Amino acid sequence: MNLEKQTHGKVGEIVYPAYNGTNGWFQKPRWDLITEVDKDRKILDVRYIWDFATVKAIELMSDLYELRLR
């Protein structure tokens, strides 16, 4: 089931399949990595990720980067 499509976000954020319109029957799940937003944080460009392990790796790297900044 698809939920309301996410149209705003921040660079580096991952949009899960239920929020990008691809989580339906007979469709392969796709995650969107936001790469560009405008001044109102509206999504302008995304990169597609087709593998869940890649999504988790990106999230882990992001968490480690935030810990390193503290």
Residue 1: what pLDDT?
Answer: 62
Instruction: Indicate the residue type of 45.
Output: D
pLDDT, one tens digit for every residue, the chain (70 residues): 678 899 999 999 999 998 888 876 667 889 999 999 999 999 999 999 999 999 999 999 999 998 998 8
Residue 32: what pLDDT?
Answer: 95
pTM of the model: 0.84
CA-CA distance, 11 to 57, in Å (whole number)?
17
What does the radius of gyration of the chain's CA atoms come to, in whole angstroms? 13
CA 31 to chain centre: 5
Sign of CA dihedral 43, 48, 50, 54: negative
